[in-house]
């Protein structure tokens, strides 16, 4: 199978028939073999009934329904697990992503041998309250991850199958799939300008909480990618530096008291004494946090889970 199209959705019953028909036209005109995976994230409207009706007319339609709303990352994760195509396309269900982009995304994956192709909504049909924070967020994501994409959060993306089978999404990590792919060893990440259409039905499902959760998730992804299997390298370095800094300050005050100003005020009455003490205590705490993280990591089922791209001799 050439394509798996994974579409997470929440209360999008009105747009689903039009989106389905549009995708089918594109698939048929390009003679793609495909499956269409609708992931209903606990919708409260008639979305699931609509998916069932579409399945009755098109065997390529498949559906998964959550008992309650878990979020877009969870929907994409189960969609990735179920996908069988050699190339996986993700897109939103609100008709703001155009299925006409799919053939070129597929070509970039198969002919240019890219691992990930991310859409870039260069011209957006969103209010300033959404576009300005998005620009700031994308700037921060580029600086932290080292992946120079203009639009990390664009729902329209294409992946090689092995990419989506090698990563795990939770929380709100769907915004950082390119970064997760990079940390998993998939370095060939491209970008394509895509059309951003105005929403035709319903209302946006994203609230203000994403402006808080987004940066926190970004720090989590960056930390886990660099130090997920070696947390002591992070906590130990900080703890060791702080302890050494406090110890040097203590040593300086001790030498000063013993040999330079022996009749000066007591060490315990000096501000530097408490600064050095606090710095050393914090250093020990960081070091301890590193040891605890290493102990937890050693009991993890994925401690020695490494991605193997090729095998020879079996």
Tens of pLDDT, residues 38-55 = 999 999 999 999 999 999
Q: Are 69 and 39 in contact (CB under 8 A)?
A: no
Neighbours of 270 (CB within 10 A): 15
Query: What is the reported pTM?
Result: 0.75
Q: How far apart are CA 246 and CA 99, in angstroms?
A: 60
Question: Which 8-state DSSP code applies to residue 139?
Answer: H
CA dihedral 149, 152, 154, 158 (to 10 degrees): 70
Tens of pLDDT, residues 276-309 = 899 999 999 998 888 887 777 666 555 545 454 4
Domain boundaries of the chain, sorted by first residue: 3-227, 231-298
Longest pairwise C-alpha distance within the chain: 94
Which DSSP helix (H) or strand (E) runs through 118?
A: strand 116-120
In the prediction, which pLDDT does 200 show?
A: 73
Q: How far apart are CA 44 and CA 34, in angstroms?
A: 28
Write out the two tokens for 74. 């969870």
Nearest to 62 by CA among 72, 71, 54, 70: 54
Q: Are 287 and 240 in contact (CB under 8 A)?
A: yes
Count Cα neighbours of 225 within 13 Å in the Cβ-side half-sphere.
22
- Average pLDDT of the residues in 3-29: 95
Domain at 3-227, CATH class? alpha beta
């Amino acid at each position: 199978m050439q394509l798996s199209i994974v579409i997470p959705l929440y209360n999008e019953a009105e747009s689903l028939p039009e989106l389905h028909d549009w995708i089918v036209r594109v698939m048929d005109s390009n003679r793609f073999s495909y499956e269409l995976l609708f992931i209903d994230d606990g919708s409260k409207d008639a979305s699931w009934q609509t998916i069932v009706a579409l399945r009755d007319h098109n065997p390529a339609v498949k559906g998964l329904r959550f008992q309650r709303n878990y979020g877009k990352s969870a929907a994409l994760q189960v969609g990735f697990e179920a996908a069988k195509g050699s190339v996986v396309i993700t897109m939103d269900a609100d008709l703001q992503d155009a299925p006409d982009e799919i053939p070129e995304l597929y070509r970039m994956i198969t002919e240019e041998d890219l691992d990930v192709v991310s859409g870039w909504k260069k011209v957006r049909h969103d209010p300033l309250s959404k576009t300005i924070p998005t620009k700031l967020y994308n700037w921060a994501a580029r600086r932290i991850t080292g992946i120079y994409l203009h639009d990390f959060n664009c729902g329209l993306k294409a992946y090689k199958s092995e990419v989506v089978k090698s990563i795990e999404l939770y929380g709100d990590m769907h915004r950082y799939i390119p970064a997760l792919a990079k940390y998993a060893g998939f370095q060939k990440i491209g970008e394509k300008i895509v059309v951003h259409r105005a929403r035709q039905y319903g209302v946006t499902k994203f609230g203000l909480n994403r402006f808080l959760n987004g940066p926190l998730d970004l720090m989590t992804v960056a930390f886990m990618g660099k130090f997920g299997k070696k947390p002591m390298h992070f906590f130990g370095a900080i703890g060791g530096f702080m302890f050494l800094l406090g110890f040097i300050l203590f040593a300086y005050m001790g030498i000063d008291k013993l040999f330079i100003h022996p009749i000066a005020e007591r060490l315990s009455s000096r501000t530097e004494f408490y600064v050095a003490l606090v710095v050393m205590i914090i250093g020990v705490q960081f070091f301890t946090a590193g040891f605890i993280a290493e102990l937890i990591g050693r009991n993890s089922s994925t401690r020695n889970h490494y991605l193997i791209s090729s095998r020879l001799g079996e």
